[in-house]
Structure 1
């Protein structure tokens, strides 16, 4: 990306819509966006947490409480964006995960929040973003959006889908003025991972990144405009290997399957799904200067 185009996409003075703002990665990204001089529209389900987050950060920000799995609330969010001057950057970060064997998976919940919500939000806000002189869409995927992993069949399916959607959208609408980016973290130290996931990763030697380190990588992608951004080694290697020689990855993961199944069979991640997708009784829109 040349320096002139990069300059057009600097964050200072830009308005950014960040979904999942009260989660682990969301909070870390919010802090870095505010520090970069962006005005952020924080979106999540919890009104009180949204207001507290906006009050803790420098700058002028706004909040919108919504259940992104509800079509009418997505439309209300899009209407709010248009009524308040639009946005320059959309970061689809909200998501949920479930670690469990296939028989116990809640596929509808994961597909609704991880895949359909960002697709529909892009669809609703694309006319607005297309009118900006410099705009960006970032869809937060996962290394599991390229590598199918036991115990995460629903999550993998949703992130595979999001990667495919982002790729298609980029090839359809991207230009010097409108960038479409895909960002893929690996396991991160947030509440989305249950105790069973953490224990399994420790036994298998799988790295888990700090949320602020992930946020720093996202800021680098926003600065450079690189279309696809994967975090971590050997995850980057396995993403490429799985695309070229999936049989080798079958064997590598197959050697760990007994350990994964042991943790997945005893997991209580169904509770995590319910907590992540519970509706807020109170919906708010609020601004602070």
Structure 2
């Protein structure tokens, strides 16, 4: 890159966020990473080697956290990656208000609010917004109801902002990885086999995400069966109802749900 560009990545303390930061540093971006925990952010900085990486300890669900991020960004931002997320798994009847509110605040409200706050900087650079969603934002999965709802919302927000910003030179990319091997995997590990999930590494997700961002793509889905199922879901949802409903009723799935409780796992930030 001849002119250094700046990227902000939320939820960059580990997992997908850390992998995104490592890729960005390797490509010569000035990288700003945001997260709640100083120690994990410093680990990400170290993992980025000699790259230009600045950590910002901030909670994106709080106004003061977003204000700290905006101060670090300044007047111009080339790429905003809304990556921070949290996950709770189980029957909806077992979900607490706190779990539902945490997923909504982190996965949906925070990226909307942070995007709003950073719009002037993005417009100044004619930059790009990248929202890290999920295949579950197209294919609503049983026992991931709250999480799916927030990712459906993030996909809708991405579409709306792409159209709203079409006249000001700011692009929007929606990235929908499948299940990923991160700390959050422990929340649904027992469901992987009975629900026939395929998991990618954080590094694979980051590579595909950057390919979509740098290619100015509208959206990005993983290679494989999930991409096909997303198309089927959009055209013939009743087919997916039958297939995924059968997985939900499978005795192996129900046994996994009735095992010791799945913890609520926020994506490390």
Superposition TM-score, scaled by structure 1 size: 0.85
2:265 to 254, 269, 272: 272
Change (3 A) 1:104 1:71: farther
- In the other structure, the counterpart of 1:29 is 20
Once residues 98 and 237 of structure 1 are traced to their aligned partners in structure 2, the CA distance between those partners, rounded to angstroms, is: 26
Please say if 1:155 is aligned against 2:147. Answer: yes
Query: What per-residue deviation string (whole Å, max 9, x for no partner) do you get for residues 30-56 of structure 1?
Result: 111111011100111111221232133
Rounded Cα–Cα distance in structure 1 between residues aligned with 2:200 and 2:260: 21
Structure 2 contact 133–177 (Cα < 8 Å) conserved: yes
Contact map agreement 2:11 2:268 (CA 8 A) in 1: no
- Residue of structure 2 in register with 1:126 after alignment: 119
Secondary structure class of the residue paired with 1:61: strand
CA contact (8 A) 1:146 1:160 kept: yes
Single out whichever of 67-76 and 135-144 deviates more from structure 2: 67-76
Q: Of 208, 217, 224, which residue of structure 2 is paired with 1:226?
A: 217
Gaps of 5+ in 2: none
Which of 216, 238, 241 is the equivalent residue of 1:247? 238
Asked whether the 8 Å contact 1:11–1:33 carries over to 2, the reply is: no
Q: Which moved more, 1:162-171 or 1:252-261?
A: 252-261
What runs of 5+ residues in structure 1 fail to find an aligned partner?
1-9, 278-289
TM-score (norm 2): 0.91
CA contact (8 A) 2:22 2:47 kept: no
Alignment-derived partner of residue 281 in structure 1: none
* Shift of residue 11, structure 1, vs aligned partner: 9.1
Relative distance call for 1:173 and 1:191 in structure 2 (3 A) is: same
Measured against aligned partners, the alpha-carbon deviations of 1:57-113 in whole angstroms (never above 9, x if no partner) come to: 22222110111111222123223322xx53211000010111111012221110000
1:261 aligns with 2:258: no
Could you say which residue in structure 2 is the equivalent of 1:114? Answer: 107
Cα distance in structure 1, aligned partners of 2:2 and 2:78: 9
Q: CA-atom RMSD, angstroms?
A: 2.0
Taking the aligned partners of 1:192 and 1:239, their CA distance within structure 2 comes to: 23
How far is the alpha carbon of 1:27 from its aligned partner?
Answer: 1.3
